[in-house]
Amino acid sequence: MKEKNKDQDGWYSGVRSPYERIFSQRERRVRYRGIAKNQFAAFMGAICFNLKRMSVIAPPNLQLS
């Protein structure tokens, strides 16, 4: 990629790395029976985690409306 923006990629990596580290270390066992219940639990856990992190990171260009 000749036109790659290395500064932007570095910024994205810095923002993304705390999330990826946490989700890679999660427990592999599931709490509920059934795919739908476990997908919902994982989705809600990810939303809660992202909201908590958003309040800490708060990128300057983020518009919460």
Give the pLDDT confidence of 3-62 residue by residue, as tens digits.
888 888 888 888 777 767 766 667 777 788 888 988 898 898 888 888 887 776 666 666
CB count within 10 Å of CB 17 equals: 10
Q: Which residue has the tokens 């919902």?
A: 40
Domain ranges of the chain: 6-57
Residues 6+ apart with CB under 8 A from 30: 38, 41
| Pair 18, 54: CB distance under 8 Å | no
Q: Hunting for tokens 């990810």 — which residue is that?
A: 46
pLDDT at 20: 73
Q: What is the pLDDT of residue 65?
A: 57
DSSP label at residue 26: S
Q: State residue 60's pLDDT score.
A: 64
Query: For residue 57, what is the enclosing H or E element?
Result: helix 35-57
| pTM flag (> 0.85) | no
The predicted pLDDT at position 64 comes to 60
